[in-house]
Structure 1
């Protein structure tokens, strides 16, 4: 809960306070900050439970999106997915998890943009912003990256066979598996705090 000063931001950015206020209202509507009367603007606390819930939402939406593009992915799209999956595996082997996350995002964007649904893309992008707030968890657990990369190979095979139900199942299972790993991480922290 760090406090945000409109005046300080306006001074640092050399702009008036009006665009700062508008940006803060937008951040509040997206859950990144809280505006508390007579206290000001505070960066919202973010728990592992919040992250778990975001992953549950992401699983539903992304599984729907992936299944909806099964019949329209081109050979070029499939080739790009294969290339990105190979790059993911290389990043994991090199221990470069920030690079892995960029490639992972590109992998998912490759099929998400094919939906043509801008509202869905926007909602998933906003979920991604929230998920990135606890990126350190992922860096501490490389097994999550390895499992995702392996699952992406299965997903590509399902896309190639044009099996929308299998695609839906793989995407949903993969994302929920990540969410469950996060829940176990949270349980581990709670267990450590109790000792």
Structure 2
């Protein structure tokens, strides 16, 4: 089976010449219809079934207006909707970026300057080639989750696939969630009190 290639082939040459000839012919006919007077088309050539000359200008203007609207009002938002957010890490780096280790020395409060490796893209991370290790090889062992942390995660996680679990990838995230303030309870308001507050109070 031949592989698809953009190089010229005899079939493409024939099809290209046929399309070129067809469009040239249609363009000449269009210009003749738009410029030749009505009496010449009807009396000399006998063409009485052609559309009104109004459409000779209306259709090109309609197409140009549609292209303008698409180019300025539809195409840019369409592209932006497919892009990552401006504050997303994917807009700032790619798989060739140099990412540093996130380990911070407790004694000197200095951050590690070693480079970390990219995580191989496979089925466990949905073939995402943007992911990087959090720590370098020197500090990776020191920052592994302890058995007690893994046990705590197991009590709070009901994920079927543990390799995709957020809590297993970042064990400290559970502590962060537990330290956050809870959302206040939702309560119903009496409609009568709301109306009095809105309309009767001055």
- Tell me the TM-score range normalised by the shorter chain: under 0.3
**Structure (1 or 2) with the greater helix fraction:** 1
User: What TM-score do the two structures reach when normalised by structure 1?
Assistant: 0.22
Larger Rg computed on CA atoms: 2
User: What TM-score do the two structures reach when normalised by structure 2?
Assistant: 0.21
Q: Report 1 or 2 for greater relative contact order, CA contacts < 8 Å, sequence distance ≥ 6.
A: 1
**Structure (1 or 2) with the greater strand fraction:** 1
